[in-house]
Amino acid sequence: MALARPTVERIQLGLTLSRLRTDARKSQGEAAAVISRTAGRLSQVENGRGGLGPEELLRLLDFYGVRGEERQTVLALGVASRKRSPRRGYVDNLPEPFKRVVDMQASAARISWYECGIIPGLVQSPDYVRTIMALGNGIYWDTSEEETEERIAFRLEHHRRVLETGEPKQLAVIFTEDSLHHPIGGTSVMRGQVLHMLQLMERHPLLDIRIVPTTTVDNPALGGGEVLLDFSGSSTIGFVSVLHGPATYYDQLQDIEPMQRLFQRVEELALSRDDSQALLADLVKEGL
């Protein structure tokens, strides 16, 4: 049987099923037997290269003990993954979309992340994260200290899953220099943020943090951000940064190729890894 093309929906479904199986402490062989499939076939599904029928999906969810909203979300992903009609972007309107963002980033072989005016989320320090989330309390969600704390914990778990677990991945993180001069939480938080990135660069040799200087002329990516995810043996998936609302994912060549060219251009404009590291070190010496 020919393998299905790994679209965003199929990758999200596969990674979600893999996470739910792991949480349920079931092996691929045990889960595959429930739906009368081989472990190899289930592996294809979990890697976004195979599909499941509605009844098979229901049996798996019963086996994993998945109920409530999460069950409905997985079933909706199943429906989306079986659609064959062409589409440009996929808007993730399902509940708890950030879980799927982290699943995808944690399984990617390479992440290319660019931001303008803010430190990219993957390399934010704990204090920077806490300040950003506190600023959003009462704006992006109803005022709730409990939700704010949950979002902080989730972001820090995001960092752990992507940076500290699984196989080492190639990470290219680029941001504009003005991101370092927008005061988030005051001087102590920003100084801690700079030190945090220096420490990350020391601990993760595959992490390439680079800065586009403020004096750069003709940066075509001002005012926006993007993330590109490359998976082993699969196509690239991209999404753009948004202030509010659901993420839109892209996996068609007519969208991915311009995003790749844009990232390549900001790579050309950015300082080298060593020069970016030196710029950060100089900021610490200057008392930031």
153 is a domain residue: yes
Instruction: Specify whether 23 is located in the same domain as 126.
Output: no
Determine the pLDDT at residue 89: 81
pLDDT digits (tens, 9 = 90+) for 196-222: 999 999 999 999 999 999 999 999 999
User: For residue 221, is it within any domain?
Assistant: yes
Residue at 231 is within a domain = yes
Please, how many CA atoms are within 13 Å of residue 195, restricted to the half-sphere of its CB?
Answer: 13
Q: Classify 112 as helix, strand or coil.
A: strand
Please report whether residue 90 resides in a domain: no
Residue 183 domain flag: yes
Whether 163 has a pLDDT exceeding 50, the answer reads yes
Highest mean pLDDT (candidates 93-102, 144-153, 240-249, 274-283): 274-283
Q: Are residues 21 and 51 in the same domain?
A: yes
Q: Please indicate, yes or no, if residue 62 is contained in any of the structural domains.
A: yes
Q: What pLDDT, on the 0 to 100 scale, is given for residue 1?
A: 43
Average pLDDT, the chain: 90
Q: What percent of the chain has pLDDT over 90?
A: 66
For residue 247, pLDDT beyond 50:
yes
Shared-domain flag, residues 22 and 121: no
Does residue 265 share a domain with residue 170? yes
pLDDT at residue 245, as a whole number: 75
Residue 92: inside a domain, yes or no?
no
pLDDT above 90 (res 134): yes
Q: Do 13 and 148 belong to one domain?
A: no
112 contacts: CB under 8 Å, gap ≥ 6: 172, 227, 228, 230, 263
The pLDDT of residue 275 is 97
> Is residue 50 very low, low, confident or very high in pLDDT (cuts 50, 70, 90)?
confident
Which CATH number covers residue 184? 3.30.870
pLDDT of residue 86: 67
Q: How far does Cα 36 stand from its chain's mean position? A: 33
CATH number of the domain that 37 lies in? 1.10.260.40
pLDDT number for residue 256: 94
Answer yes or no: is pLDDT of 20 > 60.
yes
Together in a domain, 66 and 208:
no
Number of domains in the chain: 2
How does residue 278 score in pLDDT terms, banded at 50, 70 and 90?
very high
Q: How confident is the model at residue 167 (pLDDT cuts 50, 70, 90)?
A: confident
Say if residue 21 is in the same domain as residue 161: no
Residues 228 and 178 in one domain: yes
Q: Which two tokens stand for residue 12?
A: 């999200």
Distance between CA atoms of residues 18 and 21, nearest Å: 5
Between CA 150 and CA 83 the distance in angstroms is: 34
Instruction: List, in sequence order, every residue forming a beta bridge with 114; answer none if it has no partner.
Output: 174, 226
Residue 2: is its pLDDT beyond 60?
no
* Degrees, nearest 5: CA angle 96-172-137: 35
pLDDT the model gives residue 82? 84
Of 54, 83, 112, the residue that ends a domain is 83
Which residues fall within 8 angstroms of residue 43, CB to CB, at 6 or more apart? 28
**Confidence tier at 4 by pLDDT (50, 70, 90):** low
pLDDT at 175: 98
Residues 112 and 78 in one domain: no
- What is the rounded average pLDDT of the residues 2-10? 74
Q: Whose CA is closest to 236, among 2, 4, 8?
A: 8
- Structure-token match 């019963």, residue found: 62
DSSP string, 1-59: -PPPP--HHHHHHHHHHHHHHHHTT--HHHHHHHTT--HHHHHHHHTTS----HHHHHH
- Give one DSSP letter per residue of 204-239, joined into a string: -TTEEEEEE-TT-S--TTTT--EEEEE-TTS--EEE
- Angle (CA) 160-177-240 rounded to 5° is 60
Judgement on whether residues 135 and 243 belong to the same structural domain of the protein: yes
| pTM beyond 0.75, yes or no | yes
Asked whether residue 177 is domain-assigned, the answer is yes
Has residue 25 got a pLDDT over 80? Answer: yes
User: What range does the domain containing 47 cover?
Assistant: 8-83
Pair (200, 248) in one structural domain: yes
The last residue of a domain, from among 59, 83, 107: 83
